[in-house]
Amino acid sequence: MEHGFTGSPHDFGRHEPLPLGHLPATRYPDTRVEALDRRFTARQGNAAIERIATGFRWAEGPVYFPAGRYLLWSDIPNNRILRWLEDDGHVSVFRAPSNYTNGNTRDRQGRLLSCEHDARRVTRTEFDGRITVLIDRYDGKRLNAPNDIVVASDDSIWFTDPGYGIDGPYEGHTAESEVGRHVYRLDPASGQATIVADDFVRPNGLAFSPDEKLLYIVDSGATHGGPAHIRVFDVDGGKLRNGRVFAEDFAPGFTDGMRVDSEGNVWCSMGWADPAEDGVRCYAPDGDLIGKIHLPETCANLCFGGAKKHRLFMAGSTSVYSVFLNTTGAV
Ligand code: MG
């Protein structure tokens, strides 16, 4: 298989890999990209969903680097970060061990920021390859297991710490929680952390609106008897105010990761319940569900990429999928 990821000594998966390329019975327009409202104009009629890589145990944290034209993502249980090259589809191991890294993002200078479950910290990979620890403790206590991360245009770093990585050995290791399951902001000048939200059951994916006046944050507490919803907050300097529920029609499934497009639509992952709902959802800024992308696997997270930011990459369980859209990522 030309672009396959099979037989590599780094391929710890032992199942039969899924076929790469367009999904079965693809015909334009791809009916797996579904408009529910006339405001959903993102579907590109002459494009289809592709599986671009497979053979992972649990794909998460996709991030695209335009300067190098590659996508990175985490394969959490296999303790590695993978890299896909846009020019020829080659997939290889970027980092192993990765300390069971989950969420990744790019900062405004183009550096990789990562949430490491096992080391219970947030790191930055410098241009020379050194790894800088941005935070591993709050008030002297260890973080739980940072999950997802986003950077504002003022270089402040916002991340969630729900602790899935210390719940058991699959995504990190079993450990006691020393701090609450909070959302944090790292100040760009001092590097100091402040808690910006402390009333989540399991804070997870997060994304700013294009003007950065709003911050959307997923609560995936449904995994532990809590809610399955997205909340939105007004961003007031370094603080969050006026939190309210933005979307809550996920049960019995839930959402995990999220990105916002340049028109302010919220794109979030979906899965863990009805297979017909697996994939991605698109919500208008007013909270209306306007579109869906149907994938053959549960989707954990997504990002926009490509030189023009109009290609959506989706981390879907054992595979990574992509589709070109008529919209662009906000960042
Ligand atoms: Mg997550």
pLDDT beyond 70 at 253: yes
Confidence bin at 6 (pLDDT 50/70/90): very low
Question: In a 10 Å sphere around its CB, with 0-12 CB exposed, 13-18 middle and 19+ buried, how is residue 124 labelled?
Answer: middle
**Ligand 1 centroid vs 20 CA: distance in angstroms?**
25
Q: Which helix (H) or strand (E) holds 233?
A: strand 229-236
**Ligand 1 centroid vs 82 CA: distance in angstroms?**
17
Residue 301 lies in a domain: no
Residue 17 lies in a domain: no
**Ligand 1 centroid vs 33 CA: distance in angstroms?**
23
Q: Residues of the chain with pLDDT > 90: what percent?
A: 94
| pLDDT tens-place string over residues 12-32 | 555 567 899 999 989 999 999
**Ligand 1 centroid vs 29 CA: distance in angstroms?**
30
**Ligand 1 centroid vs 40 CA: distance in angstroms?**
25
**Ligand 1 centroid vs 231 CA: distance in angstroms?**
15
Does the global pTM surpass 0.85?
Answer: yes
Residue 306 lies in a domain: no
The per-residue pLDDT of the chain, averaged, comes to: 95
User: How many domains does the chain fold into?
Assistant: 1
Question: Would you tell me how many other CB atoms lie within 10 Å of the CB of residue 19?
Answer: 13
**Ligand 1 centroid vs 1 CA: distance in angstroms?**
31
Residue 37 lies in a domain: no
Q: Are 102 and 146 in contact (CB under 8 A)?
A: yes
Which of 222, 241, 239, 220 lies closest to 230 in space, CA to CA?
220
In this prediction, residues 27-46 reach a mean pLDDT of 96
Residue 47 lies in a domain: no
Residue 176 lies in a domain: yes
Per-residue pLDDT at 9? 40
Query: Which residue type, as a one-letter code, is found at position 136?
Result: D
Q: Which domain holds residue 101?
A: 58-295
CATH number of the domain within which 65 lies: 2.120.10.30
Residue 173 lies in a domain: yes
pLDDT beyond 80 at 110: yes
Per-residue pLDDT at 17? 75
**Ligand 1 centroid vs 324 CA: distance in angstroms?**
23
| pLDDT tens-place string over residues 70-88 | 999 999 999 999 999 999 9
Query: Which residue type, as a one-letter code, is found at position 59?
Result: A
Residue 96 lies in a domain: yes
Chain centroid to CA 161: how far? Answer: 14
Residue 128 CA to residue 284 CA, distance in Å, equals 40
Query: Which residue type, as a one-letter code, is found at position 137?
Result: R
Q: Residues of the chain with pLDDT > 70: what percent?
A: 95
Per-residue pLDDT at 5? 42
